Amino acid sequence: MIEIKSLSRGFGHIRAVDKISFAVNTGEIVGFLGPNGAGKTTTMRMMVGFLQPEEGSIELDGKSIFADPISTSARIGYLPEHNPLYPEMSVVEFLAYIAALRKMPKGRYLERLDYVIDNCGLEGVLNQRIGTLSKGYKQRVGLAQAILHDPEVLILDEPTSGLDPNQIMEIRELIRELGQAKTVLLSSHIMQEVQALCDRVIIINKGRIVVDELKENLGAYMGNAQHLVLEVEADQPDLSDWSLLYPDTQLQEQTQHGNVARIKMLIPGENDLRRELSAFVVEKGWQILSIYAEKQSLEEIFHNLTMQEELPDPDMEPQTSPFAEDGIPSPGLESDATEEAK
Amino acid sequence: MNPAITIAKKEYSLAFRSVTTYIIFILFLTATGFYFANTALKVGLAELRGVFGIIHLIFVIYAPAITMSAISKEQASGTFELLSTLPLKLGQIVWGKIMAAVMLLATVLVFTLVYLGLILHFGSGVDLGAIFAGYLGLLLAGAAYISIGVFASSLSTNQVLAFILGLAISAVFYLMQFITAFLPASLAGTLEFISFDYHLQNFLKGVIDTRDLLFFLILIVVFKYLAELKLQSRNMMQER
């Protein structure tokens, strides 16, 4: 188990990471999400001891990682962002070099080498120079390096970035397998990845944790709203009657391809209106092609959460000033002024 | 095996995959060979002092050239991040880089044994002691230049800048022998002590003095330590 407590780190004036605390348990795969510059990489760099935190602690099974950095590094496997490798070395030379630096005994190294060759699919490229490998293979070599010493904790900074869909599937499969016995923290900005792979999701924004929840519980952040998507055979169907019946409905999208119309609407509340909608469509004499409800995706939750954060930002206020400059005081400013006058 | 040696071995063997290494080797041997041909074969001097002097001058450029990428490249490409999460100490990384470059330097010196063979074969009264001491002195001075070069390499992620910095610092130590000539005797006497040439001349004469040995060894350790300090500060205050 790796646990961080009120970890902070700044660069110049920017608070890259601001009092972050969380723990990752053994056998758990945790997705670390956030927009670019949210502080994911900085947090991970501190967790592997590459960056010194300004405050806070990082504990591996209750012991600070800085107490004994050498033994810490034996227990943590790390795949840095952008996957730095030595392009002049061949794959097997590189792995041998890492093993030598980790002082792995020869027998153990050979045993682990077999394991990573099998599991990272490196068989065909062992003697190829890393510089000549495709991005997908490089990523596998990076991952092989991270798991070569069979660490308990794996910290993977964007393990699937830049891979094609097949490669992503393979790497995910490997991570899922590793996650059964290990502690895995992986960062990503691809929501589907986290949805597919992780047990728990931590979303950070501007150096702070916005959400730390089991994947199943993320629903709480969605609100109960759902989308209804309707496809009917009709020419520019008019839904104003429907809006009269259910005034809460928000029409989000309406597209027309030939004589097929596709309509997407947002239904607030928990009501499932599919039955009512199909009855309505039949009554109108349109031909239903499909009708289905869509839950909000993790992507939308992510978008909402990371955008919400920006709303209370004091920087937003000056945006109302153009009104004042035009000589038309904004309602807010006016009330402020009258209050002050009293 | 000590990680420093692992790093040194890797760096040394990778150096021979780079064309640059061979080009530098050839330039080195051409320059020294030309000079040797002039002094030994034309003038007929059965000694290597002149060649050693030239080698010393070449080292001022050669050492920063082979060390400029040592740390700057690791930092620019991000592999330094990989290294710093392995069970290594910063000092071991720096030692590894210095050792690899010293081995490379020793390799190029091995080729100059041809000159020794030639004067032994054709000349007479060769002072082998002085030549042995000369090689030792050159190796030490070279190692000191390398330590300076590795330090310079830790200062910048730009290899060219690292080379220029290394060359500049090395040049101060090399040119001190000429600078002291313009200074008042009292000051010259003190500054002379940091001139590489001043210490190297003793070796070339065949005198191995502890003061000269210590001078170079201390410089090697000091610049190695400075590089380590620089890396430590980068690790703690890195601007990224």
- As a whole-number percent, the residues of chain B with pLDDT over 70 amount to 97
Does position A50 have pLDDT exceeding 90, yes or no? no
Does position B25 have pLDDT exceeding 80, yes or no? yes
Q: Identify all chain B residues contacting A52, using CB atoms and an 8 Å cutoff.
A: 235-236
pLDDT digits (tens, 9 = 90+) for A309-325: 544 444 433 433 333 34
Query: What's the pLDDT at A66?
Result: 84
Measured between CB atoms, does A341 come within 8 Å of chain B?
no
Q: Give Cα separations from B109 to A163, B130, B142 (angstroms).
A: 47, 16, 10
pLDDT digits (tens, 9 = 90+) for B123-151: 778 888 999 999 999 999 999 999 999 99
Give the pLDDT mean for A119-131.
Answer: 92
- Mean confidence (pLDDT) of chain A: 82
Measured between CB atoms, does A70 come within 8 Å of chain B?
yes
pLDDT digits (tens, 9 = 90+) for B68-107: 999 999 999 999 999 988 988 889 999 999 999 999 999 9
A240-252 burial by CB neighbour count: b if 16+ within 10 A, else e?
Answer: eebeeeeeebeee
- Is the Cβ pair B87, A84 closer than 8 Å? no
Q: Identify all chain B residues contacting A69, using CB atoms and an 8 Å cutoff.
A: 87
Query: What's the pLDDT at A10?
Result: 87
**Residue A145's pLDDT band (boundaries 50, 70, 90)?**
very high
Tokens 């004042």 belong to residue: A324
Query: What's the pLDDT at A322?
Result: 39
- As a whole-number percent, the residues of chain B with pLDDT over 90 amount to 62
Q: Cβ(B105)–Cβ(B25) under 8 Å?
A: no
Helix/strand/coil (H/E/C) assignment for every residue in chain A: CEEEEEEEEEECCEEEEEEEEEEECCCCEEEEECCCCCCHHHHHHHHCCCCCCCEEEEEECCEECCCCHHHHHHHEEEECCCCCCCCCCEHHHHHHHHHHHCCCCHHHHHHHHHHHHHHHCCHHHCCCEHHHCCHHHHHHHHHHHHHCCCCCEEEEECCCCCCCHHHHHHHHHHHHHHHCCCEEEEEECCHHHHHHHCCEEEEEECCEEEEEEEHHHHHHHCCCCEEEEEEEECCCCCCHHHHHHCCCCEEEEEEEECCEEEEEEEECCCCCCHHHHHHHHHHHCCEEEEEEEEECCHHHHHHHHHHHCCCCCHHHHHHHHHHHHCCCCCHHHHHHHHHHHC
> Minimal Cα distance from A39: which residue of B?
B240
**Residue A222's pLDDT band (boundaries 50, 70, 90)?**
low
- Of A146-155, A230-239, A289-298, the poorest mean pLDDT is in A289-298
- Is the Cβ pair B10, A97 closer than 8 Å? yes
Structure tokens at A331: 């309602």
Query: Residue A242 and residue A267: Cα distance in Å, rounded?
Result: 12
Alpha-carbon Rg for chain B, nearest whole angstrom, is: 19
Give the pLDDT mean for A206-224.
Answer: 78
* Type of residue found at A109: Y
pLDDT digits (tens, 9 = 90+) for A5-40: 999 988 888 888 999 999 999 989 999 988 888 889
- Of A245-249, B23-27, B156-160, the poorest mean pLDDT is in A245-249
Does position A277 have pLDDT exceeding 80, yes or no? yes
Measured between CB atoms, does B190 come within 8 Å of chain A?
no
Query: What's the pLDDT at B71?
Result: 94
- Of A91-95, A205-209, A220-224, B210-214, the poorest mean pLDDT is in A220-224
**Residue B42's pLDDT band (boundaries 50, 70, 90)?**
confident
**Other C-beta atoms within 10 Å of A71: how many?**
12
Across the A:B interface, residue pairs with CB atoms under 8 Å apart total: 67
**Is the model more confident about A196 or about A340?**
A196
Give the pLDDT mean for A291-300.
Answer: 73
**Other C-beta atoms within 10 Å of A308: how many?**
11
Query: What's the pLDDT at A280?
Result: 86
- Is the Cβ pair B81, A45 closer than 8 Å? yes
B5-36 burial by CB neighbour count: b if 16+ within 10 A, else e?
Answer: ebbbbbbbebbeeeeebeebbeebbebbeebb
